[in-house]
Amino acid sequence: MRELLAKRGLPTDEDHAGIHDTSALLALETTPGQWVRKDKLSLADAKTGVQGHPQFATPELGNIYNDMKVDLALKQIRSLLASSR
Amino acid sequence: MRMLSWFFGALLLAWPAYAQVPSVFIEDLTWPEVRDAIAGGKRTAIIYVGSSEQNGPHMVIGKHNFVARALAQRIAEQLGDALVYPILPYAVAGNALTRTGHMRFPGTVTLTPEAFFAVVRDMGQSALTAGFKVVAIMGDHGGGQDEMALAAKELDSEARASDARPVYWRPLRKVARPNARTSRQARAAHR
């Protein structure tokens, strides 16, 4: 995911409530503003609890990110089950 | 004609769903439905840990819980033989007394590592007691990873020692950030 961000020229030091986290939620919102307050993005910085650059978050990145997590989890569970037999 | 379609509608509603559970979420099921699901082959319990913590001025506190729920549902549906326990909405997010980590901001909930470990372990024990053969512990959050691994390890040895049935128990580490260095940093920030 870090590589993907780098490839797009986006910041990669997203540790809390940054591009990853914010994108993941944008992808899941069913109504705009339900969980992400876009008008408050300009206030996001270390003093307000953010480590990253959420202004670059998009639902598209969120879908990629969420898909990755699901695929990784499935792979892990399936290989662990297979090796345990 | 209207009478007939009403009658058919009522019949369809009354028709019991033998084959499928209506949801992969245990919260949506009755205990006989859980029992029958396990007897019918649902062998995997998913315990997905979220967190209630500040997410800056732009994002709600429930973020991890909403993501956890969405991902847990997809994972369970794709596995086909899994049910999801209620999302654990609390994790280790700082120290409530010294106000470290996310506890600097109101709305955050933090559990001590001991409390978090105990809850995760007890959820897992509940799953084993119910009859699940595999319990997968997963987290959408950086804090508490060590405790999750410890809980899994403890349950694993207990399950094997009791020898009631073969049980496989594995902790799934946070999969969000494949970069190991970042994971450690994120975990350190959450303590």
Give the pLDDT confidence score for residue A52 in this predicted structure.
95
Q: Is A6 on the interface with B (CB under 8 A)?
A: no
Tell whether the torsion through CA atoms of B139, B143, B149 and B150 is positive or negative. negative
Query: Tens digits of per-residue pLDDT, A23-36?
Result: 999 999 999 999 99
Give the pLDDT confidence score for residue B8 in this predicted structure.
55
Q: Which residues between 106 and 135 in chain B have a beta carbon less than 8 angstroms from any beta carbon of chain A? A: 134
List strand residue ranges (DSSP E) for chain B, in order: 44-49, 82-84, 134-139, 168-171
Look at residue B41 and give its three-state secondary structure: coil
Rounded to a whole number, what is the distance in Å from the CA of B109 to chain A's nearest CA? 15
The 10 Å Cβ neighbour count of residue A31 is 6
Do B172 and A76 touch, CB atoms closer than 8 A?
A: yes
Give residue B149's Cα distance to chain centre.
Answer: 14
- Whole-number Å distance between alpha carbons of A25 and B155: 32
- Amino acid in the structure at residue B18: Y
pLDDT at B161 over 90: no
**Mutate which of A12, A13, A15, A39 to test chain B, going by most B C-beta atoms within 10 A?**
A15
Q: Is B67 on the interface with A (CB under 8 A)?
A: yes
CB contact under 8 A, A73 and B138: yes
Give the pLDDT confidence score for residue A84 in this predicted structure.
58
- Whole-number Å distance between alpha carbons of A71 and B75: 8
CB contact under 8 A, B56 and A72: no
Instruction: State what percent of residues in chain B have pLDDT above 70.
Output: 72
Measure CB to CB from residue B57 to each of A1, A40, A65 and give the nearest one.
A40
User: Predicted confidence band at B17 (pLDDT cuts at 50, 70, 90)?
Assistant: very low
Query: B50 or A77: whose pLDDT is higher?
Result: B50
Q: Is B65 on the interface with A (CB under 8 A)?
A: no
CB contact under 8 A, B55 and A2: no
Q: What is the mean pLDDT of residues B186-190?
A: 35
Q: Which residues between 43 and 72 in chain A have a beta carbon less than 8 angstroms from any beta carbon of chain B? A: 43-44, 48-51, 54, 65-66, 68-70, 72
Query: B112 or B189: whose pLDDT is higher?
Result: B112
Give the pLDDT confidence score for residue B143 in this predicted structure.
72
- Whole-number Å distance between alpha carbons of A16 and B107: 16
Measure CB to CB from residue B59 to each of A35, A72, A77 and give the nearest one.
A35
Query: A26 or B158: whose pLDDT is higher?
Result: A26
Q: What is the DSSP string of B7-22?
A: HHHHHHHHS---S--S
Query: Tens digits of per-residue pLDDT, B99-147?
Result: 888 999 999 999 999 999 999 999 999 998 898 888 888 887 767 888 8
Closest by CA position to B140, among listed B61, B67, B31? B67
Rounded to a whole number, what is the distance in Å from the CA of A13 to chain B's nearest CA? 9
- Whole-number Å distance between alpha carbons of B17 and B69: 24
Mean pLDDT of chain B: 79
Q: Is A22 on the interface with B (CB under 8 A)?
A: yes
Rounded to a whole number, what is the distance in Å from the CA of B2 to chain A's nearest CA? 35
Query: Tens digits of per-residue pLDDT, A32-80?
Result: 999 999 999 999 999 999 999 999 999 999 999 999 999 988 988 888 7
Query: A46 or B191: whose pLDDT is higher?
Result: A46
- Whole-number Å distance between alpha carbons of A54 and A45: 9
Q: Is A1 on the interface with B (CB under 8 A)?
A: yes
- Whole-number Å distance between alpha carbons of B62 and A16: 14
